[in-house]
Structure 1
């Protein structure tokens, strides 16, 4: 579920950003290939809870990959190579800020969903564990206890009541 949500958000963000930036929209084959690649990478990384930083870095890397994939066969030529040699610093900086802003906002949103999902799973695990504790395993009879005869306590002398006895070898001299 996490992999599918991350992949859908990542690919949709890249496709809509590409279309909004003046591109003709990515080819359906490119969207499918990008979605499959993002799904495979995120499935490999889905073993544990991820931090907001890890999610944002992964989202940024995937956005860069998808940006280049969608621009590969685009007749408008929207690509990083064209940006680097083309319209100057203003266009490059605007594209970079748009990518970073969208990635950070989406990364924060996904991180909040990730935290909520893991909190839900931990709560479900606690409830499930409590349900299993309601039904204890069948009791195994305990072995019989050894019975020791009662021994009368030794008489206490009033004189030695507060005396401390420390037996053992003497400590070595330093």
Structure 2
């Protein structure tokens, strides 16, 4: 599994030429929160410019770089076309509350996990209850329910079945390999 925040800030490199297209700025999702691509900061220091690389053009995600299949994969992004993103879109997944159908808030999304080889659907959420709670208790991890149609991915909250509250697992700060690519 890969944690999305581990990709943010990594250089995006053309597999064929070794040229850097920019750095990963965010991820772009569809209405079902399936990853469609990455948003790349492709501008210079004083001239920021965002671009999009469709996910099927990403050949691999390593710990040091994201490799793409050619510079022609980098397409300009219209500012109003942000849509659903992790942290900069009109609808942001980061800090979105996760609530059960019975009204219990399980936490707020601090990161998401996905399997790049098996598809781009989110497979789990890392949840936080805030800085102090993270220090005292640690963050929690919630696997996406197998019956994905039971999860409502709204604009202001993610609504999950009541049994998800019992499936929360702790994420220890020492678990530095959780979500990392294996070599």
Q: Normalised by the size of structure 2, how large is the TM-score?
A: 0.24
Larger Rg: 1
If each structure's helix is expressed as a fraction of its own residues, which one has the higher value? 1
